[in-house]
Structure 1
């Protein structure tokens, strides 16, 4: 961008704002220009806490433009910082919106993220040639060795401004804390005093604000505004079972104006809901963490263009998604935090006079909250096991990749990657090309800190329950959760003005929804490859699983997180419930699965085998013998488990290590299955490895084929 002399800083900033918005009538909101001036003229570190839609991106794009124009105040040595702005942003969807906004402002922006790795070399050259005004990266990029060496080290010496978007992620107390964000504090502490830094968020209470400001350092200027959103009309429906919630939504989705977002707590709930609404004639699509990046982009654009009625999404569609005229946000199940809820509903009504926000809580919400809360907390024993495994790298200097680490620790891959990030931020491990190494620095588990965080999460969950039960103004309640005491009654929510939605649910809609989510018969795809790294710990399994050892495709009655039968089975198999034969209702579900499956299986099973040594031997035996009787199959008996195989919720390599050699088909079982097609019955599966190893034993004992069947999938 060419240097320009266009009068005063404020006049030039006003021109940049008009270009960004495409409107000559655009004016700065209270606090926007103050932040820009503090950055450009004061070289300050600034934290902006303002509601969604206030215009935080305008602050950093206008400031970036002014810095590139050479309008920043000179440093003590007379030099001016005119380099590009580095924006650290958490989500790809947010980056895409920011790149488009930068283009509107006449700013050349590029992004470096996991979806455009093939463009890294050309983007790096553009940055090196000073052709780029703004570089957007994810916080994970700060730990990437190649990025640090080839881009960041040079960029920091020339940079004009650093922006930390969604800055509540820096804080342990933020509703969406991310370990990668903790690296930012270390980066900032090493920067020159004259380098301005801007952090922005819409969801920070006083505790989070103070924590982020302390991490920014250097007497951070905090600009905080009122957080209540007058355009939103909030409401909470009574807790209902899944079929009634879906029935209501199918009957009333068109009551909502425009296009919107329907949030669900799990991937399976989002998928099931989108499928059902589509079957009812609505144009809806599921948007989750597992959605292909190209499909995500297409879906986001379709929603912005009002080509779909709604995206049915998990929290993967969240921070920064920019559709100013989003008409509604509906939640099928409540988030675990009132602050997180405020962040999600803040997607709606940013540039409209009104938008509807309705919460339909579910009976399963608290159970799901507990799962995610415990899954995100680091465990001391797991951390020490990782450090012990990496100690060997100190002598050899050879890093261990995540797959190489897995056979040495119990931690599942997603959790292992999260814990490695935490240990890296703490300085105990380092990511290098080829994997991870130990730094040799002492590390101790901060039990007090994690206990305090756990209590904070519980308090947040309690606040979400209180939001559902409050008789007061709902917007005021949410604002108070963010320590905004300026909010008055909104006059629009259901408690202020009465229920604004039609509560009726046609009987036929409930029945249709119950039928749709009551479907059973989930395919269990056979494992085809052994986990890597097993031979390094003495397990002679590697590469492709031979066809002669492999299970055939199997079936599960339902997934635990499904909206219908999965919840019935999950409740029956709850560890607190006694081991007992399956009730008639679940037995009938098993029979239905077998009947539906029979239309596609390549060969009919001839005999039944159950997996022994489970926590539910009576349950498993009743299923096996019951299906044998109904299907007129022989019952061959139980596959013996000759030793404990440990917990199921571990990574694949460690699970196979524990399962290898743990089953035995005795002579009588081998004789009963030789040359025959076996229906292998288990209570549950999570990863599929127990079924895989059991099938291998049965195939080697003479079974012609093994077809697994289990009641529930634990995911």
Structure 2
């Protein structure tokens, strides 16, 4: 080929920028042109650290187009989120690049995508980091094109770093791949969120000959504010009161899926055009992203599932319903607002549950030593290996905890276990002590980052941007004062009352289980499927355990008063009357307890009186068991209750309300409903005072 300095042509690069952006007057931002030239003309690796909206994707798209026009092979882009991939494909096509993706959600298109790759039609190949852990993909696709790849792009590169706020275990494979790459292969890593510690880590991983391009982190259009509103009712009220006064559309971030759904439901009930967006939104996610993109909703109430890579430059606000875990995570999320606007708000609401939620996420981020020991010791007893389901049946850990431990352990080098087909087996490798030291170090770091966010919340108005930039090791001399006035810091009493009424009117469906655990239950003598005639109906829970609304009163009744108040009886009766289960129940029974024999029995009797229905406590508990909340997965929960209940009398052959104080795993309701139906009862409608967050399956 001709001399290497011939590949970057400034006029062609500008032409591609304007074509891709749809703006015929567009010009490169500071550093963009230099980054493209560096990639195309040089062989030194490049780490680009630039704020959200700077245009990192234009750098690798234009570089790819110039390299392809010069006769080079395709670009391999490793990207962590599917939403990011969808945006990337659309953007690539605008400058004439053929982009293909292979990920877990487009399996139907894999064959076509692979044909385009092998026939060299693909200019840019987008994969998730998890594909790198799939040996079939590596052998069938990656190994055949590795020698032709002209550029490797690692998007959201902070995920490589153990120190990164969004560390992804599969990104560790990139570190190993990098070490085996030809030293002259072009490598571009990009991120918007890297402090010096993460940057040093990335430099050590990506190679000593890497060049770093770091831009100005200040966001002059963004007015930041923190507001302490301890209760959920105050924050719901504040949102409903302030949302009409916020310009444009935006994102309201929550820490949990349940909160995203609850906040969206509240705002909808007050007439706002909002939708919930979570990892459970499934096929609706593309539609929801587009509706926000086209300003067809006022806001998406989202978890971090709507995060990296979502590209809407005219977001007028980003509000956090709760406090994120770290400054870098917060900077990335709030930085979605005001990228192409002169003014935008970034508001963080701080509640009393924030610490508890954050501590849960930090404590559950990595496997515990007792969890790892249980898994390794169980596999040691099974030389031919065990599937995930088989592990669940032998280990009292949740499916998620087992999966997380297996994933992280399998990515160690050398790994103490490996997957063969559907089964996990031990290898000859011994888990290094450095593994536990690294986890301890990272956990300690995350608590430090959480404390840093608590300092951020306490700052007076006008000091927030400087704090963020200083925490990210940026230049605080570039910070400008806020250009919007602060928003009110208290909620109107009338709105608080409306929010309280909303929370107390809400109820949570209890979906019936449709299958027994694998292998069935021996004493109950049941197999796999629960036949429809033996299933419970969809039930209702009055509240979420300990939550605003009725949840805190349920908690007080169970553990302080040892008696559920008449107020809860009235509320539960009102819920049932509003629900109107069909066919209408004609009698009431309850789940018995040996530890607290009077608690649920007494409540159920008073509820039956309130509903003017007869109360027949015909279910008997014949042996004590461990509390269901101590059973960590569905197998353990079901087996813990096998043979525990029986009926003292045959039930009335009419519909019944089945009452319990809490629903954890749903197995108690499932088994009691099965027994009632087996012996002739009509439809069984479960009713619980509270749903806990411990539900499985």
TM-score by length of 2: 0.90
d(CA) in 1 for partners of 2:477, 2:423? 50
Look up the SS of the partner of 1:234 in the other structure. strand
| 2:442 alignment partner in structure 1 | 453
Q: Name the residue aligned to 1:100.
A: 90
Counterpart position of 1:315: 304
Structure 2, unaligned runs of 5 or more = none
Q: 1:406 and 2:392 equivalent?
A: yes
2:499 alignment counterpart: 513
Alpha-carbon deviation of 1:125?
0.6
Secondary structure in structure 2 of the residue aligned to 1:115 = coil
Which position in structure 2 is the counterpart of 1:422? 408
Which whole-Å CA distance do the structure 2 matches of 1:18 and 1:570 have between them? 60
Of 84, 92, 102, the match for 1:112: 102
* Residue 425 of structure 1, CA deviation: 0.6
Q: What is residue 567 of structure 2 aligned with on the other side?
A: 585
Of residues 622, 625, 639 in structure 2, which corresponds to 1:657?
Answer: 639
Structure 1 distance, partners of 2:333, 2:577, is 43
- Of 145-154 and 623-632, the range deviating more from structure 2: 623-632
Determine if contact 1:111/1:137 at 8 Å carries over to the other structure. Answer: yes
Q: Distance in 2 between matches of 1:452 and 1:587?
A: 49
Q: Which residue of 1 aligns with 2:288?
A: 299
Correspondence 1:620 to 2:620: no
Structure 1 contact 611–681 (Cα < 8 Å) conserved: no
* Pair 1:630 & 2:630 matched: no
Q: Which residue in the other structure is 2:666 paired with?
A: 688
Q: Is the Cα–Cα contact under 8 Å of residues 39 and 45 in structure 1 kept in the other structure?
A: yes
| DSSP-derived class of the 1:634 partner | coil
Instruction: Indicate conservation of the 8 Å contact 1:628/1:635, yes or no.
Output: no
Equivalent position to 1:463, from 436, 449, 452: 452
Determine if contact 1:88/1:138 at 8 Å carries over to the other structure: yes
Q: CA deviation at 1:567?
A: 4.9
1:206 to 196, 202, 207: 196
Shift of 1:345: 0.7
Which residue of structure 1 lines up, in the alignment, with residue 146 of structure 2? 156
Distance 1:9 1:532, change over 3 A: farther
Task: Report how far residue 505 of structure 1 moved.
Answer: 4.5
Instruction: Tell me which of 637, 640, 643 is aligned to 2:621.
Output: 640
CA distance in 2, matches of 1:534, 1:41: 64
Superposed CA deviations along residues 476-523 of structure 1, whole A, max 9, x for unmatched, are 111122122434543107xxx7x5324575544333332222214322
For the Cα contact (< 8 Å) 1:636–1:672, is it kept in 2? no
The verdict on how the C-alpha distance between 1:487 and 1:690 changes in structure 2, with shifts beyond 3 A counting, is: farther
Say yes or no: does 1:608 pair with 2:598: no
Alignment of 1:20 with 2:20, yes or no, is yes
Question: Any conservation in 1 of the 2:7–2:70 contact (CA below 8 Å)?
Answer: no
Conservation of the 8 A alpha-carbon contact between 2:230 and 2:350: yes
Cα pair 2:278 2:304 within 8 Å, conserved: yes
Q: Secondary structure of 2:228's match?
A: coil
Deviation of the 1:540 alpha carbon:
6.0
Show the counterpart of 1:522.
508
Extract unaligned runs of 5+ from structure 1: 72-81
Partner Cα distance (1:580, 1:123) in 2: 62
Counterparts of 2:446 and 2:155 in 1: how far apart (Å)? 22
Give the 3 Å change call, closer, same or farther, for CA 351–533 of structure 1 in structure 2: farther
Task: State how far apart, in whole Å, the 2-side matches of 1:611 and 1:157 are.
Answer: 67
Q: What does 1:78-477 correspond to in 2, within 5 Å?
A: 82-293=72-283, 295-391=284-380, 395-396=383-384, 400-426=386-412, 427-444=415-432, 446-471=435-460, 473-477=463-467
Which residue pairs with 1:75 in the alignment?
none
CA deviation map 1:107-132 (0-9, x unaligned): 11111122211010010010011100
Q: Could you report, residue by residue, the CA deviation over 1:191-222 in whole angstroms, capped at 9, with x for unpaired residues?
A: 22222221111111111111222222343322
Q: How many Å separate the matches in 2 of 1:34 and 1:325?
A: 26
Question: Could you say if the C-alpha distance between residues 208 and 556 of structure 1 is closer, same or farther in structure 2, counting changes exceeding 3 Å?
Answer: same
d(CA) in 1 for partners of 2:55, 2:417: 39
Moved more, 265-274 or 693-702: 693-702
Please give the alpha-carbon distance, in whole angstroms, between the structure 2 residues aligned to 1:641 and 1:520.
35
Q: Which residue of 2 aligns with 1:501?
A: 487
Shift, 1:353, TM fit? 1.6
CA distance in 1, matches of 2:510, 2:652: 24
Q: Which residue is 1:68 aligned to?
A: 68
275-284 or 254-263, which deviates more: 275-284
Q: Which range is displaced more, 470-479 or 372-381?
A: 372-381
Q: Which residue of 1 aligns with 2:540?
A: 555
Q: Distance in 2 between matches of 1:126 and 1:542?
A: 47
Judge conservation of contact 2:650–2:679 (CA < 8 Å) in 1.
no
| SS of residue in 2 equivalent to 1:265 | coil
Give, in angstroms, the shift of residue 135 of structure 1. Answer: 0.9
Q: Does the CA contact (< 8 Å) of 1:636 and 1:673 recur in 2?
A: no
Q: CA deviation at 1:409?
A: 2.3
Trace 1:45-56 onto structure 2 (pairs within 5 A). 45-56=45-56
Q: Distance in 1 between matches of 2:294 and 2:56?
A: 23
Shift of 1:556: 1.2
- How far has the Cα of 1:431 moved from its partner? 3.7
Q: Aligned-pair RMSD on alpha carbons?
A: 2.9
Q: 1:456 and 1:514, CA in 2 relative to 1: closer, same or farther beyond 3 A?
A: same
Aligned residue for 2:505, secondary structure, equals coil
Cα distance, 1:324–1:703 mapped onto 2, change above 3 Å? same
Asked if structure 1 preserves the Cα contact closer than 8 Å seen for 2:604 and 2:615, the reply is no
Separation in structure 1 between the aligned mates of residue 142 and residue 641 of structure 2, nearest angstrom: 45
Instruction: Report the Cα offset of residue 672 of structure 1.
Output: 6.6
Distance of aligned partners of 1:707 and 1:439 in 2 relative to their CA distance in 1, 3 Å threshold: same
Contact kept in structure 2, 1:89 and 1:165, CA below 8 Å: yes
Which is further off, 646-655 or 140-149? 646-655
The 8 Å contact of residues 670 and 702 in structure 1, kept in 2 or not, is answered as no
Comparing 18-27 with 470-479, greater Cα deviation is found at 18-27
CA shift for structure 1 position 49:
1.5
CA distance in 1 between partners of 2:264 and 2:18 (Å): 40
Does the Cα contact within 8 Å between 1:179 and 1:418 map onto a contact in 2? no
